[in-house]
Chains A and B, each alone.
Chain A
Amino acid sequence: MTPTVLPDVVAGLDEIPITDALATRPRRRPDYEAEAQALAELVEALAVSPATVPQRLVDLLVGMGVAGSAGISLLTSGEISGETSGEGARSVRGRAIAGTWATHRGDGVPFDEGLPALVVTRNTPLLVSRPQARVPAAPVEPPLQELLLVPFHAGDEPVGTLWAGTHDLGRGFDGEDLRLLTRLARFASAACVMTGALDEARAARTELERRVADGARALAEAHETLRETEARHRTDLEREVAERTAELRSSRDLVQATLDRSADMIQVFEAVRDASGGIVDFYCRLNNRTAECRLGEMHGQSLLACDPGAVRDGIFEAFRQVVETGRPSVTEPRPAHEPFNGRFHRSVVKLGDGVATTTREMTTWNEAQEAIPQAGDAVARVRLEESEAKYRHLFNSIDEGFCIVELIFDDRQRPVDYRFLSVNPAFDQQTGLGDATGRTMRELLPGLEANWFETFGRIALNGVAERFERRSGALDRWYEVYAFRVGTAEQRQVALLFKDIQPRKSAEAALRESEERLSQFGEASSDVLWMRDAATYQWVYLTPAFETIYGLDRATALSGDHMVSWVELIVPDDRAGAVESLHRVRAGGSVTFEYRVRRPGDGGIRWIRDTGFPMRDAAGAVCWIGGVGRDITEERETAEHMSVLVAELQHRTRNLMGVVRATADKTLRNSSGLADFRERYGTRLAALARVQGLLSRLAEGERVSFDELIRSEVAALDGEASRVSLSGPKAVALRSSTVQIFAMALHELATNALKYGALAQPQAHLEIRWHVDAAEPERAPWLHVDWRERGVRMPARDGLPQGSGSGRELIERALPYQLGARTTFVMEPDGVHCTIALPVSEQTIRERAKAALRRNSEPADPDADRGG
């Protein structure tokens, strides 16, 4: 038997007319007996244990042979998911299972979620063929051939399904099965409802019991809390009480201590009244320590008993009035009886029905008050004494003389004397006056100058202090004095502080004298002594020699900026060097420098050598520049002249050496032998020596005159001079450059004359005449010399020697060559006739001498003639 209408998929179950399918199948006959038996068992189960009813039901279905496997699946009411149907998923919340699939009770069945949900949703029975083929779940063995599901209700709501399945191929469900399942399901659902109600009732009771338990517990807790709170409060209260008590105690102690510590007497009295209410006494309620010490223990006693004088002293009345009026009272009672005698300051205030009093013992305080001014006086006195001691010490130890004098005026009120009231130890030494105190100045020194009295008298009267330096002839000393009035004008007392400054004055005088003497040196010196301020370069000292050297008076030189005017005197080329030298001196060096100045008066140039040196102050700084300037014009000219002379001398000497050598050569060439050479050369050297002698004896500007030269040569002729006649003017000055060669030529002539000519023969003689030809004023004068030998017996021309020829060579060649001379040399029948004409110095010796005198004042001789 094969179901014909079951679709293949669950989704298509909607289309299946289940009732119709079942209706088409043949129904088996109902087994009412088995049915009744099953219901009875179910009723029993319901009565005993309703919860077991579903399981019992499915067991019965299997036991009755209706189903191979049967079960109940209860679903939750909520939708879970729509995976298996469009109606929403419901999950299984309870199940019972029996039969072949009973072993799967814990695992569930493949259709658990899909098919029951469909049944619940439709609330209709469902017949499914081979359901495991239609649900996507793991197959459960053995597979169902058919499955019949009917809704399982809780009340009116379908909550699950009762299902029955067959495993046999030959077994299909029919209408009878549907009816049976439907009936049993209805019974089971009733049981289920009952079970639910029972469960609810049980749950409600449990809840109630829980609430009761909770309430009881809360109550217990509340009680416990209450108990604890009460205990805490009690403890707090106890502590607070204890603290308050302690505070009170300490407060009371503090009050007492305060009262006790007070230096004042503090008492509290309470009024004692009679029957009519009048105050008759005061009862002492408090008496602090001070009061106790001073007045005795009064605490708890009667005022009148303790102080019987209280009424008499007005204390009692004072207390009573304060109590009755309430107005405080302040008094300074002076009770005069023990133990209350003394002086007090008492204040009384009302306190309750009584008074509180504060009484201060004033006796000591007043005494102290009185002592203060006395102590102040004592301090001041001590200070004064110290001050005086210091003053006295100063007074005694200073070097200066100090005294206090009282001026004495005459009846016309003129100061005439003074008396020493006190003097310090230095006074004696400063004045030379001993034992002055109490005596007057006139007693001690009758001759003291009147101006001292006048000065001190003036100070005594007008009180204006004066400081001055003054010499006393009577004391023979210089004093520096400071005088000032002490006290009032009426007292006429003056204090004098003074010092003997005689040593200083002497030193000053000595210094001044020394300066004056030095100044005299400076004034007298031919050198310029000068000082400049190092900062400004201005002259601060300049001696008169300046005027001589610079040709400028000092007043002019010291006007304006001295430095500028000085520099302007210096020739431009030398200015920089001179200024630089001054700078170097200011920088601390000693510098000697030379420069030329042009004298403004005559325009003359003077050479000055200045030696500058730094002058320092005590701190070592250069504050002045000192200097000595000397006119070295002559010195420099002399030096220059000397250098010219030395050069000239050197030149002449070297030339002379050349001449000597040349002469030697020449003599050698013309000598017949060594003896001949010796004689000739000796005389030539002698001639040279003579002329050098003449030249070297010449002073500056002097010249050798021709007559000197010729006489010198003649004098060398060894006694033959008597046969020589000389005639011509004296003082014809020869140029120095001509003298030597001229002398040598004359020497050769004389030598020849001595050997072969006029001086060699007794009958012959020699005439030498000369004159100066000044016919042509435009040209230099010429000296004409005529050498004539007469009476000579001349040898035959070709036989006799005529000398070496040296004389002739000199005359005819050397003089014209060297001197530009015009010469002749002729052998006359009676002797040699030689003429020499040569230019000479333009002036005669005498004229030159005069000119030399004139030139002495001039620096140089530009005419100076140098030799060749």
Chain B
Amino acid sequence: MTGSVVRQAGRALRGRRILVVEDEYFLADELARGLAGAEAEVVGPIATAQGALDLLEGPAPPDAAILDVNLAGEDVYPVADALLALGIPFLFTTGYDQATILGRHASVRRLEKPVDTATVLRALDLILADRASRTGAAEWRSHGPSAPEWGTRAQSREFDRILARE
């Protein structure tokens, strides 16, 4: 991880509130440092699902989130469900294979551990940019059909393209 990567990737993250849910202290610390380097505002980090849900109850919801799937044996899915309901984009990080992701979140982009901080930042950058464009579209297409999964699929393709470039 270098500063240039952080700067390059983190343009869209500046000033954004990013919720970090990760039970492993060292990994949470590392992510928080990376986000801070990209001038994002870290919400958390938090090691438990309940703690994350409590944070979402707060007055200023995050702009995006990064969720560790397994929190000391506890599933993070309640948090994912809440984020979906709030329309907040998020990423998974996991040490498991893809097959272990719960069905309704199977299309959510996930990053396999160990995660490179720069990759996480780029991924967050993308989902934030994507949400911005969808929000913009929603302003003049307020009656159009909402397609929450469309974004995630497009997002996946974009990720594939980026990762292939690396």
Q: Count of B residues near A, CB < 8 Å?
A: 24
For B24, what are the chain A residues with a Cβ–Cβ distance below 8 Å?
A: 655, 658-659, 741, 818, 868
Residue B55 lies at the interface, judged by CB distance under 8 Å to chain A: no
For A653, what are the chain B residues with a Cβ–Cβ distance below 8 Å?
A: 95
Interchain CA distance A441-B91 in the complex, whole Å: 105
Question: Considering the complex, which residues of chain A in the window 728-770 have a beta carbon less than 8 Å from any beta carbon of chain B?
Answer: 737, 741
Question: Is the CB–CB distance between A654 and B26 below 8 Å?
Answer: no
Within the complex, what minimum Cβ distance (angstroms) separates B151 from chain A? 27
Within the complex, what minimum Cβ distance (angstroms) separates A688 from chain B? 11
For A650, what are the chain B residues with a Cβ–Cβ distance below 8 Å?
A: 95-97
Question: Is the CB–CB distance between A868 and B71 below 8 Å?
Answer: yes
Question: Is the CB–CB distance between A658 and B71 below 8 Å?
Answer: no
Interchain CA distance A650-B69 in the complex, whole Å: 14
Q: Beta-carbon contacts of A653-689 to B below 8 Å, as 1s and 0s? A: 1110111011101100000000000000000000000
Question: Is the CB–CB distance between B73 and A737 below 8 Å?
Answer: yes
For this complex, 23 residue pairs linking A to B, each with C-beta atoms less than 8 Å apart, are A647-B96, A651-B113, A655-B27, A655-B113, A655-B114, A658-B24, A658-B26, A658-B27, A658-B113, A662-B30, A737-B73, A810-B25, A814-B25, A814-B26, A817-B28, A818-B23, A820-B47, A866-B73, A867-B72, A867-B73, A868-B70, A868-B72, A868-B73
Residue B158 lies at the interface, judged by CB distance under 8 Å to chain A: no
Question: Is the CB–CB distance between B25 and A654 below 8 Å?
Answer: no
Question: Is the CB–CB distance between A813 and B25 below 8 Å?
Answer: yes
Interchain CA distance A865-B74 in the complex, whole Å: 10
Question: Is the CB–CB distance between B30 and A652 below 8 Å?
Answer: no
Interchain CA distance A652-B112 in the complex, whole Å: 12
Beyond A651-B70, A866-B73, A868-B72, whether A663 also contacts B26 by CB under 8 A is yes
Residue of A651, A652, A662, A866 near B27 (CB, 8 A) is A662
Interchain CA distance A278-B93 in the complex, whole Å: 167
Residue of A655, A663, A737, A817 near B95 (CB, 8 A) is A655
Interchain CA distance A868-B49 in the complex, whole Å: 13
Closest 3 CB pairs of A and B: A868-B72, A651-B95, A662-B26
Residue of A nearest to B73 (CB): A866
Residue B146 lies at the interface, judged by CB distance under 8 Å to chain A: no
For B95, what are the chain A residues with a Cβ–Cβ distance below 8 Å?
A: 650-655
For B72, what are the chain A residues with a Cβ–Cβ distance below 8 Å?
A: 737, 818, 867-868
Q: Count of A residues near B, CB < 8 Å?
A: 27
Interchain CA distance A315-B14 in the complex, whole Å: 171
Question: Which residues of B does A touch, CB under 8 Å?
Answer: 23-30, 45, 47-48, 70-73, 94-97, 100, 112-115
For B100, what are the chain A residues with a Cβ–Cβ distance below 8 Å?
A: 647
Question: Which residues of A does B touch, CB under 8 Å?
Answer: 647, 650-655, 657-659, 661-663, 665-666, 737, 741, 810, 813-814, 817-818, 820, 865-868
Question: Is the CB–CB distance between B25 and A741 below 8 Å?
Answer: yes
For B26, what are the chain A residues with a Cβ–Cβ distance below 8 Å?
A: 658-659, 662-663, 666, 814
For A813, what are the chain B residues with a Cβ–Cβ distance below 8 Å?
A: 25
Question: Is the CB–CB distance between B25 and A866 below 8 Å?
Answer: no
Question: Is the CB–CB distance between A817 and B96 below 8 Å?
Answer: no
For A814, what are the chain B residues with a Cβ–Cβ distance below 8 Å?
A: 25-26
Interchain CA distance A867-B115 in the complex, whole Å: 19
Question: Is the CB–CB distance between A866 and B70 below 8 Å?
Answer: yes
For B97, what are the chain A residues with a Cβ–Cβ distance below 8 Å?
A: 647, 650
Question: Is the CB–CB distance between A661 and B25 below 8 Å?
Answer: no
Interchain CA distance A865-B72 in the complex, whole Å: 9
Other A-B pairs beyond A647-B97, A651-B95, 7, CB < 8 Å = A661-B30, A662-B26, A741-B24, A741-B25, A813-B25, A814-B25, A868-B71
Question: Is the CB–CB distance between A665 and B30 below 8 Å?
Answer: yes
Interchain CA distance A207-B96 in the complex, whole Å: 161
Within the complex, what minimum Cβ distance (angstroms) separates B68 from chain A? 9
Residue of B nearest to A665 (CB): B30
Residue of B nearest to A651 (CB): B95
For B29, what are the chain A residues with a Cβ–Cβ distance below 8 Å?
A: 662, 666
For B30, what are the chain A residues with a Cβ–Cβ distance below 8 Å?
A: 658, 661-662, 665
Interchain CA distance A662-B113 in the complex, whole Å: 12
For B73, what are the chain A residues with a Cβ–Cβ distance below 8 Å?
A: 737, 865-868
Within the complex, what minimum Cβ distance (angstroms) separates B113 from chain A? 4
Question: Is the CB–CB distance between A651 and B114 below 8 Å?
Answer: no
Within the complex, what minimum Cβ distance (angstroms) separates A865 from chain B? 6
For A655, what are the chain B residues with a Cβ–Cβ distance below 8 Å?
A: 24, 27, 95, 113-114
Interchain CA distance A818-B73 in the complex, whole Å: 12
Question: Is the CB–CB distance between A658 and B115 below 8 Å?
Answer: yes
Residue among B24, B27, B113 with the highest chain A CB neighbour number at 10 A: B24
Interchain CA distance A741-B95 in the complex, whole Å: 18
Beyond A818-B24, A818-B25, whether A654 also contacts B114 by CB under 8 A is yes
Within the complex, what minimum Cβ distance (angstroms) separates A820 from chain B? 8
Question: Is the CB–CB distance between A661 and B70 below 8 Å?
Answer: no
Within the complex, what minimum Cβ distance (angstroms) separates B131 from chain A? 27
Within the complex, what minimum Cβ distance (angstroms) separates A867 from chain B? 7
Interchain CA distance A657-B29 in the complex, whole Å: 15
Beyond A647-B100, A652-B95, A865-B73, whether A817 also contacts B113 by CB under 8 A is no
Within the complex, what minimum Cβ distance (angstroms) separates A345 from chain B? 125
For A663, what are the chain B residues with a Cβ–Cβ distance below 8 Å?
A: 26
Question: Is the CB–CB distance between A658 and B96 below 8 Å?
Answer: no
Within the complex, what minimum Cβ distance (angstroms) separates B97 from chain A? 7
Residue of A nearest to B100 (CB): A647
Interchain CA distance A868-B70 in the complex, whole Å: 7
For B114, what are the chain A residues with a Cβ–Cβ distance below 8 Å?
A: 654-655, 657-658, 661
Interchain CA distance A741-B22 in the complex, whole Å: 14
Within the complex, what minimum Cβ distance (angstroms) separates B31 from chain A? 9
Within the complex, what minimum Cβ distance (angstroms) separates B75 from chain A? 11
Interchain CA distance A54-B162 in the complex, whole Å: 164
Interchain CA distance A196-B26 in the complex, whole Å: 184
Question: Is the CB–CB distance between B96 and A651 below 8 Å?
Answer: yes
Interchain CA distance A611-B4 in the complex, whole Å: 63
Interchain CA distance A741-B97 in the complex, whole Å: 24
Within the complex, what minimum Cβ distance (angstroms) separates B147 from chain A? 32
Residue of A nearest to B46 (CB): A817
Interchain CA distance A659-B26 in the complex, whole Å: 6
For B113, what are the chain A residues with a Cβ–Cβ distance below 8 Å?
A: 651, 654-655, 657-658
For A665, what are the chain B residues with a Cβ–Cβ distance below 8 Å?
A: 30
Residue of B nearest to A659 (CB): B26
Within the complex, what minimum Cβ distance (angstroms) separates A264 from chain B? 125
Interchain CA distance A825-B33 in the complex, whole Å: 25
Interchain CA distance A421-B10 in the complex, whole Å: 122
For B115, what are the chain A residues with a Cβ–Cβ distance below 8 Å?
A: 658
Beyond A813-B25, A865-B73, whether A818 also contacts B47 by CB under 8 A is yes
Residue of A nearest to B94 (CB): A651
Residue of A nearest to B26 (CB): A662
Within the complex, what minimum Cβ distance (angstroms) separates A273 from chain B? 151
Within the complex, what minimum Cβ distance (angstroms) separates A689 from chain B? 16
For B25, what are the chain A residues with a Cβ–Cβ distance below 8 Å?
A: 741, 810, 813-814, 817-818
Residue of B nearest to A864 (CB): B73
For B27, what are the chain A residues with a Cβ–Cβ distance below 8 Å?
A: 655, 658-659, 662
Within the complex, what minimum Cβ distance (angstroms) separates A745 from chain B? 10
Residue of B nearest to A740 (CB): B24
Question: Is the CB–CB distance between B112 and A868 below 8 Å?
Answer: no
Residue of B nearest to A867 (CB): B73
For A659, what are the chain B residues with a Cβ–Cβ distance below 8 Å?
A: 24, 26-27
Question: Is the CB–CB distance between B47 and A817 below 8 Å?
Answer: yes
Within the complex, what minimum Cβ distance (angstroms) separates A868 from chain B? 3
Within the complex, what minimum Cβ distance (angstroms) separates A733 from chain B? 15
Residue of B nearest to A658 (CB): B114
Within the complex, what minimum Cβ distance (angstroms) separates B13 from chain A? 20
Interchain CA distance A666-B28 in the complex, whole Å: 13
For A865, what are the chain B residues with a Cβ–Cβ distance below 8 Å?
A: 73
Interchain CA distance A583-B163 in the complex, whole Å: 50
For B47, what are the chain A residues with a Cβ–Cβ distance below 8 Å?
A: 817-818, 820
Residue of A nearest to B24 (CB): A655
Interchain CA distance A647-B70 in the complex, whole Å: 12
Interchain CA distance A663-B114 in the complex, whole Å: 13
Within the complex, what minimum Cβ distance (angstroms) separates B43 from chain A? 15
Interchain CA distance A810-B26 in the complex, whole Å: 10
Residue among A647, A658, A661, A741 with the highest chain B CB neighbour number at 10 A: A658
